[in-house]
Structure 1
Amino acid sequence: MEYLIQPWPWYISGPLIAIVMFTLIYFGKTFGMSSNLRTFCAIGGAGKKTEFFDFDWKAQRWNLIVVLGAVIGGFIAHFLLSAPVAIDLNPKTVSDLSQLGFKNAGDALLPPELYSWDALLSFKGLAILIVGGFLVGFGTRYAGGCTSGHAITGLSNLQLPSLIAVVGFFLGGLVMIHLLFPLIFS
């Protein structure tokens, strides 16, 4: 099978994202993935227990297509458009990751120390998944949306709360990778 080794250049993917955003704005819609979890909970009947989930989820059916597209797009990207090549990491990054226990840093996009069934089914893997899932869920509700919603839709609409949220997302990522990540994996 022939692989497309290079990702789409910015001058193709950027305008495509802009076209999608202009289309959504034109039709009065917003983009974001975290709102789909609320829709799935409403479909499952959570509105009978909690008022937050009691809304007309059928009005959000179009957004469920976004989830389906993300799943199909991820499948296509992984199995048809990805080349199994090493990642060109900075030697200092490889050294730092090796000290944290990542044996083959840069050999694969997803390191098996984090992304494998063995890692997931370990106590540390399950703890990271549960705590991380809780923090992401809490964070998206507290911030009024997820990274994609704020960074793409909110910034496209020039919303100050989205700018503040995106700055917070980046600061949180820096804290995680520089302070918490070494504690978890050392």
Structure 2
Amino acid sequence: MRLPALLLALLAAAPTAVACAPSVAGGPTPNGVRISGGGEFAASGAVIVYDRKLAPEGAQASATVESVAGQTRSSLVAEGLLPNRSYGVHLHVNPCGAKPDDAGPHYQHAHSHADATNEVWLDLKTDATGAGTSSARHAWTLHGERLPRSLVIHAEPTAPDGTAGSRVACLTLR
């Protein structure tokens, strides 16, 4: 079943179990930080595709990261990717750009090591229609002066050392 882009945006913006004050995208709120991004993958812009074989025409995704009360919760909704396939997904330090490496390295909370407790890994397994969801929760908060700026979908599931193959697509987070 194909989800319209508006539904993806609504799912990403849906409230979580954490009570949050209204926020300005990408900025601090009285209770924390909320950043998000999404849309259909295009050749350029804030929602960009690097590999059309792994993110076909019409593929789209929406991501939200909320950080409040000592916790960070991240969620991803995607559709139109290849069916029954696993993708590695991580937050990165820079916005998306024309080149896959423009998003920079993985965002790390403590700048010390690559693992699922220090980085946000949202690996995704698609269903028979190419749709999937993923979420992660961490016992640390984001700070407005140092936020992840993008979410990158990788070609392979994340290995224990944090590698996940080439970059397939990217969402700039604001």
Task: Name the TM-score class by shorter chain.
Answer: under 0.3
Determine which structure has the larger helix proportion and give its number: 1
How does the TM-score come out when normalised to structure 2? Answer: 0.25
Determine which structure has the larger strand proportion and give its number: 2
Name which one, 1 or 2, has greater alpha-carbon Rg: 1
